[in-house]
Amino acid sequence: MKLGAFGRKSRQRTVVPPATVESMQSHSHSVLRLGILGCGTVGGALIRLIETDADRIAARTGIRLEVSRVAVRNLSADRDVNLPSDSFTRDPASLVNSPDIDLVVETIGGIEPARQLVIDSLKSGKPVVTANKELVANVGQELFEAALAGGVDLFFEAAVAGGIPLIRVLRESLAGERISRVMGIVNGTTNFILTKMTEEGAEYADVLAEAQKLGFAEADPTADVEGGDAAAKAAILASIAFGAKVVAGDVYQEGISRISPADIAAASHMGHVIKLLAVAEFDGREVAVRVHPTMVPEHHPLASVRESFNAVFLEGSEVGDLMLYGRGAGGGPTASAILGDVICAARNLQQGVASDLGVLSEFAIRPIDETDSAFYLQLDVEDKPGVLAAVTSVFGDHGVSIRSMEQQGQGSTAHLVFITHQAREADVQATLRDLRNLSEVKDIGALIRVIGD
Amino acid sequence: MKLGAFGRKSRQRTVVPPATVESMQSHSHSVLRLGILGCGTVGGALIRLIETDADRIAARTGIRLEVSRVAVRNLSADRDVNLPSDSFTRDPASLVNSPDIDLVVETIGGIEPARQLVIDSLKSGKPVVTANKELVANVGQELFEAALAGGVDLFFEAAVAGGIPLIRVLRESLAGERISRVMGIVNGTTNFILTKMTEEGAEYADVLAEAQKLGFAEADPTADVEGGDAAAKAAILASIAFGAKVVAGDVYQEGISRISPADIAAASHMGHVIKLLAVAEFDGREVAVRVHPTMVPEHHPLASVRESFNAVFLEGSEVGDLMLYGRGAGGGPTASAILGDVICAARNLQQGVASDLGVLSEFAIRPIDETDSAFYLQLDVEDKPGVLAAVTSVFGDHGVSIRSMEQQGQGSTAHLVFITHQAREADVQATLRDLRNLSEVKDIGALIRVIGD
């Protein structure tokens, strides 16, 4: 990208002649013709939102949004949107290539055919707004390059944490900030399940079944409960927060399916709650990024994020602690994020410019084995003399220092709860392996990472 | 403002030729020459931040920030910044008019001479970034018009809630959203005092004295504790959230100096905490905007905002509930917000465009008397037969419906705590006037508004 100088010349204004704020209202509006790929929950909500609010948006921004074409799989499906039937097409390529479309919104999800359609749109000079986290988390770099080549915007605010404004905040508001850590509750389903387990003392399987009945969890909940959804979002957050190339496959992931009411009770006993966190860290040289259940102190702002709400907590060099909280999913919040992106892209298109995507550089991804954390671990052991010494010496052998230990007797079995000081993941895993080989150890519960205040 | 069409023509890219992300790194950087008005806590922090991070910012954005000139009152003051002594001037007008300055940052505060300097900068085609809430809250409209006339950016992210990205989020990310309510904890001093009173059961005067000793409160704390600072921020938030002309003088304000430990204990007894909230509401026709102590349910995200942290809670038509939390003051967070604005303004300057300021329209400001709320009220009354009937009939006479009443006997005096249903402010004030005239009423405590979950 060739950069103009900040001289007198480049400061001439061609598109913003002198005018008062009031006089803007009396001018006619530019029409932006939208092509929308997909008409499911998100696409439908967006079309309804534009129908309701087009006049208000035109009055405020000077831009009149018009849904020109919508690509769908099934033309005869019943849709709760008020568009002429000839707006719909089964041919997304014709939409992308049409000279009558100014901007493309992609809401179909998945990698293909979304990837090819987005690339073709960008290459033909059409800005793209997408809500597709798999796409950005897996082939983001390719999309960024196509956007730069086309000289147009690629926006994806809706791809991470739905209605919470994160991407634009990281790219623009925090452009001068060195972000060292991002911790997010970015999956509503798992936060709903953990909230119910915490507040009602319920079992994981029972709450999952209830969530499925209520429509908060999919019939196949794997992507949510095993952390895959959160991992894709973590990759995008790390990319934008650190300016680093990070893809979904770089993210270590553990889900919540092994979390028991006993773990939650133990956390509560220590003044903590268990949350599924996406954690991304950057020290200027290496990026570490992972998704796992985490014990969060009750006073931490992330601890009060309940039910299906999402939140992202950032630690910046100057700004300090910052948290953004809101609805991470659903038609309304996602459509709102898309609409914000569409309006920004429209303003840029009007002025003949594109937003700076920033530079994504190559940094090493730190393997999970080389990351540090405090850990919580529960063991059931035979209740006989010498067992505690045997167990603690295993920790010691691997240099894992114990911060606290609590023993609850249960007849022939003693229940031990350990919290470690900060320890290297590899050392803790080696400790676990050796503990499993100890004949006195009957059972090992979930290993849960613990964050400080 | 004349608006270009979204035709083929306007989509030609002059400044963003095809390039890959990687190739950006190899290009030379544009230099942006900053003129800074003021070198106090914020100006100094900004200069140090630019010194530390200029290389990193140049690598990531292609823009090299250079502090060219700094206008100060006293040339001989000792400043912890690493600039040549001829960078400093006592003549701010020369800085503003210099052809060697590309962008002006205003950190001097107050209305004059800041107003004139900002207007002159904008008129001469220099974008302005300001952290000055008084300026924007009192003469914002005049500044917006000067920015439009100059065809340049006017950014003021740092003027409200320091490092929390609010203005850009409202203007851009939520551009498609109808915001109906904004509730903010936007004054760190009062939140610090209320947190200490809540967690330590301390008296207002004692905590204020401690805060003054620690430097969290000014020697004259009036602007903080009586709500004036929060009112200026509320006016700015209402303007941007609703696209409405609102100035500081439109904001009804009550401070926290009458809040007693008994009020806080009563709030806690009902599962609430007391916070000083800036509340702005918009129903599409009228704007209501006020600052007052408020009882907030413990489960509400605003309740967990402790110490000197700030947070703003928004209710939008599509996005639902959204909260932004962080540091509202201090050199680092404020400098970070300014730097984000500077980088955005630099990108725009490079491309020869200015951000859309949006249209601020005239809406009626609803007088406080015509607003509705639930209320908490404590009375001390003579403990004799018929008193409760006399008191409650006063509420009834004014159509104020009581949701709950609790009586605590104290010898000859009974202590009554009332919570009303939603009631009109004027009716509650009339109730209070009549209660004061009732001979059986010995004392009336603070009247505190209550919000729901």
Does A396 lie in the same domain as A274?
no
Domain containing residue A71: 18-163+332-351
Which of B286, B316, B351 is the last residue before a domain boundary?
Answer: B351
- Do B30 and A3 lie within an 8 Å CB cutoff? yes
Q: Out of A18-22, B160-164, B253-257, which region has the weakest mean confidence (pLDDT)?
A: A18-22
How does residue A5 score in pLDDT terms, banded at 50, 70 and 90? very low
Half-sphere exposure of B78 (CA within 13 A, CB side): 0
Is position A235 within any domain?
yes
Residues of A in contact with B335 (CB under 8 A): 318
Total number of domains in chain B: 3
Q: Output the pLDDT for position B26.
A: 39
Q: Given its phi and psi angles, is residue B49 left (phi above 0), alpha (psi -120 to 50 degrees) or beta?
A: alpha
Q: Out of A5-14, A408-417, B105-114, B244-253, which region has the weakest mean confidence (pLDDT)?
A: A5-14
Q: Which two tokens stand for residue A290?
A: 């992972």
Choose the closest CB to B60 out of A3, A306, A358.
A358
Choose the closest CB to B359 out of A18, A25, A28.
A25
- Do B178 and A53 lie within an 8 Å CB cutoff? yes
Residues of A in contact with B148 (CB under 8 A): 16, 18-21
pLDDT over 60 (residue B9): no
Comparison of pLDDT for B299 and A159, the residue scoring more? A159
Q: Which two tokens stand for residue A234?
A: 């973590």
B362-372 pLDDT tens trace: 999 999 999 99
Q: Output the pLDDT for position B350.
A: 87
Would you say A274 and A293 are in contact if contact means Cβ atoms under 8 Å apart? yes
Residues of A in contact with B353 (CB under 8 A): 13, 15-16, 351, 353
Residues of B in contact with A20 (CB under 8 A): 145, 148-149
Q: What is the mean pLDDT of residues A291-304?
A: 95
Instruction: State the smallest CA–CA distance between residue A319 and chain B in angstroms.
Output: 4
Q: What is the mean pLDDT of residues B9-18?
A: 33
How far apart are the C-alpha atoms of B316 and B337, rounded to whole Å?
24
Does A189 lie in the same domain as A113?
no
- Percent of chain A past pLDDT 90, that is, above it, reads 80
Q: What is the mean pLDDT of residues A137-145?
A: 94
Of A282, A283, A288, A278, nearest to A371 by C-alpha is A288
Token pair 């204020």 is found at B208
Q: Which two tokens stand for residue B121?
A: 């900068």
Does A293 lie in the same domain as A204?
yes
pLDDT over 50 (residue B17): no
Q: What is the mean pLDDT of residues A198-205?
A: 95
Return the axis-axis angle of helices A133-150 and A114-123, rounded to nearest 10°: 20
Instruction: State the smallest CA–CA distance between residue B101 and chain A in angstroms.
Output: 10
Q: What is the mean pLDDT of chain A?
A: 90
Q: Which two tokens stand for residue A204?
A: 């994981």
3-class SS string, chain B? CCCCCCCCHHHCCCCCCCCCHHHHCCCCCEEEEEEEECCCHHHHHHHHHHHHHHHHHHHHHCEEEEEEEEECCCCCCCCCCCCCHHHEECCHHHHHHCCCCCEEEECCCCCCCHHHHHHHHHHCCCCEEECCHHHHHHHHHHHHHHHHHHCCCEECHHHCCCCCCCHHHHHHHCCCCCEEEEEEECCHHHHHHHHHHHHHCCCHHHHHHHHHHHCCCCCCCHHHHCCHHHHHHHHHHHHHHHCECCCHHHCEECCCCCCCHHHHHHHHHCCEEEEEEEEEEECCCEEEEEEEEEEEECCCHHHHCCCCEEEEEEEECCCEEEEEEEECCCHHHHHHHHHHHHHHHHHHHHHCCCCCCCCCECCEECCHHHCEEEEEEEEEEECCCCHHHHHHHHHHHCCCCEEEEEEEEECCEEEEEEEECCEEHHHHHHHHHHHHCCCCEEEEEEEEEECCC
How far apart are the C-alpha atoms of A128 and A122, rounded to whole Å?
7
Does A273 lie in the same domain as A196?
yes
Would you say A60 and B359 are in contact if contact means Cβ atoms under 8 Å apart? yes
Does B197 lie in the same domain as B320?
yes
How does residue A356 score in pLDDT terms, banded at 50, 70 and 90? confident
B97-148 pLDDT tens trace: 999 999 999 999 999 999 999 999 999 999 999 999 999 999 999 999 999 9
- Determine which of A10, A13, A16, A55 to mutate to test the interface with B (most B C-beta atoms within 10 Å): A16
Does A156 lie in the same domain as A183?
no
Q: Output the pLDDT for position B299.
A: 87
Residues of A in contact with B310 (CB under 8 A): none
Long-range contacts of residues A230-233, Cβ cutoff 8 Å, at least 24 apart: A230/A184, A230/A186, A230/A187, A230/A190, A230/A276, A230/A278, A230/A291, A231/A137, A231/A278, A231/A291, A232/A133, A232/A134, A232/A137, A232/A138, A233/A133, A233/A137, A233/A159, A233/A160, A233/A161, A233/A184, A233/A186, A233/A187, A233/A278
How does residue B351 score in pLDDT terms, banded at 50, 70 and 90? confident
Q: Output the pLDDT for position A14.
A: 35
- Do B27 and A3 lie within an 8 Å CB cutoff? yes
Question: Which amino acid is it at A188?
Answer: G
Instruction: State the smallest CA–CA distance between residue A303 and chain B in angstroms.
Output: 10
How does residue B407 score in pLDDT terms, banded at 50, 70 and 90? confident
Q: Output the pLDDT for position B80.
A: 87
- Do B319 and A163 lie within an 8 Å CB cutoff? yes
Would you say A32 and A342 are in contact if contact means Cβ atoms under 8 Å apart? yes
Would you say B246 and B252 are in contact if contact means Cβ atoms under 8 Å apart? no
Whichever domain contains B152, its CATH number is: 3.40.50.720
| A10 SS3 class | helix
pLDDT over 60 (residue A334): yes
Q: Output the pLDDT for position B4.
A: 34
Q: Output the pLDDT for position A35.
A: 98
Of A108, A242, A123, nearest to A171 by C-alpha is A242
Is position B362 within any domain?
no
Choose the closest CB to A1 out of B24, B45, B320.
B24
How does residue A189 score in pLDDT terms, banded at 50, 70 and 90? very high
Does A281 lie in the same domain as A347?
no
Does B240 lie in the same domain as B389?
no
Does A446 lie in the same domain as A390?
yes
- Do B151 and A18 lie within an 8 Å CB cutoff? yes
Kindly tell me the number of DSSP H helices and DSSP E strands found in chain A: 13, 18
How far apart are the C-alpha atoms of A129 and A159, rounded to whole Å?
10
Instruction: State the smallest CA–CA distance between residue A149 and chain B in angstroms.
Output: 4
Paired with B448 in beta bridges are B376
CB atoms within 10 A of CB B414: 20
How far apart are the C-alpha atoms of B2 and B24, rounded to whole Å?
33
Does A232 lie in the same domain as A338?
no
Is position A10 within any domain?
no
Q: Output the pLDDT for position A344.
A: 93
Q: Output the pLDDT for position A77.
A: 84
How far apart are the C-alpha atoms of B177 and A341, rounded to whole Å?
12
Choose the closest CB to A148 out of B4, B19, B318.
B19
Q: Output the pLDDT for position B38.
A: 96
| A360 SS3 class | coil
Residues of B in contact with A9 (CB under 8 A): none
Choose the closest CB to A62 out of B3, B24, B324.
B3
Is position B237 within any domain?
yes
Q: Output the pLDDT for position A453.
A: 64
pTM score: 0.90
pLDDT over 60 (residue B90): yes
Whichever domain contains A193, its CATH number is: 3.30.360.10
pLDDT over 70 (residue A278): yes
Q: Output the pLDDT for position A19.
A: 34
Whichever domain contains A430, its CATH number is: 3.30.70.260
Of A191, A420, A136, A228, nearest to A312 by C-alpha is A191
Would you say A289 and A367 are in contact if contact means Cβ atoms under 8 Å apart? no
How does residue B237 score in pLDDT terms, banded at 50, 70 and 90? very high
Instruction: State the smallest CA–CA distance between residue B298 and chain A in angstroms.
Output: 10
Catalytic residue among A126, A196, A233, A245: A233
Q: Output the pLDDT for position A46.
A: 97
A85-116 pLDDT tens trace: 999 999 999 999 999 999 999 999 999 999 99
Is position B11 within any domain?
no
Q: Output the pLDDT for position A299.
A: 87
Q: Output the pLDDT for position B95.
A: 96
Q: Output the pLDDT for position A26.
A: 39
Question: Which amino acid is it at B433?
Answer: R
pLDDT over 60 (residue B14): no
Choose the closest CB to A332 out of B20, B56, B320.
B320
How far apart are the C-alpha atoms of A279 and B78, rounded to whole Å?
42
Does B275 lie in the same domain as B210?
yes
Is position A361 within any domain?
no
pLDDT over 70 (residue B25): no
How does residue B28 score in pLDDT terms, banded at 50, 70 and 90? low
Is position B10 within any domain?
no
pLDDT over 90 (residue A292): yes
Listed in sequence order, the residues at least 6 apart from B122 whose beta carbon sits closer than 8 Å to its beta carbon are B128, B143, B146, B147, B149, B150, B152, B154
* A to B CB pairs, distance under 8 Å: 337
Token pair 């950016």 is found at B153
A26-57 pLDDT tens trace: 346 799 999 999 999 999 999 999 999 999 89
- Do A16 and B148 lie within an 8 Å CB cutoff? yes
pLDDT over 60 (residue B20): no
pLDDT over 50 (residue A61): yes
Does A117 lie in the same domain as A180?
no
Q: What is the mean pLDDT of residues B381-387?
A: 90
Instruction: State the smallest CA–CA distance between residue A292 and chain B in angstroms.
Output: 24
Phi, psi of A202 (to 5 degrees): -80, 160
How far apart are the C-alpha atoms of A104 and A34, rounded to whole Å?
6
Is residue A408 exposed (0-12), middle (13-18) or buried (19+ Cβ within 10 Å)? exposed
Residues of A in contact with B309 (CB under 8 A): 321
Of B384, B380, B387, B449, nearest to B417 by C-alpha is B380
Q: Which two tokens stand for residue B233?
A: 């921020």
Q: Output the pLDDT for position A9.
A: 32
